[in-house]
Amino acid sequence: ANGYYYSMWSKCIWSSHDLSDMVYIDNYIFNKDVHIQFNSTVGKYVGYTEHGVYNAQLWNNNTGQLEGERAQVETYCKYNAEIDQSTITGKS
């Protein structure tokens, strides 16, 4: 189609059973290019386009939004990883 493509995706990345190295990444994508990304290792939004840099600065100044993203490692990633790991180890 001749329209615009906008999407968001979030993912959790980890490689150990203790979950201490877990990283939460939240991408904002426009026309198949990431224009803003939150990475829990960095702890703030990073813009990759002119528009993305502008919005990242605004979002980084919104302490409530930033703290919400930072909390996702615990509330979203680790919570679900523990469920997944207990399911996997429970079957062996």
pLDDT tens per residue across span 25-81 = 999 999 889 999 999 999 999 999 999 999 999 999 999 999 999 999 999 999 888
CA distance 67 to 57: 15
Both tokens of 18, joined, read: 């203790």
- The answer to whether residue 8 scores a pLDDT higher than 80 is yes
Residue 84: which pLDDT band, with cuts at 50, 70 and 90? confident
- 0.75 exceeded by pTM: yes
- Burial-class residue 53 by CB neighbours within 10 Å (0-12, 13-18, 19+): middle
Q: How far is CA 77 from CA 5, 32, 35, 82, 89, in A?
A: 27, 25, 23, 9, 18
Are the beta carbons of 4 and 30 closer than 8 angstroms?
Answer: yes
Give all domains of the chain, ordered by start, each with its CATH number.
Answer: 6-83 (3.10.320.10)
Q: If pLDDT is split at 50, 70 and 90, which confidence band does 92 have? A: low
Would the pLDDT of 1 be above 80?
no
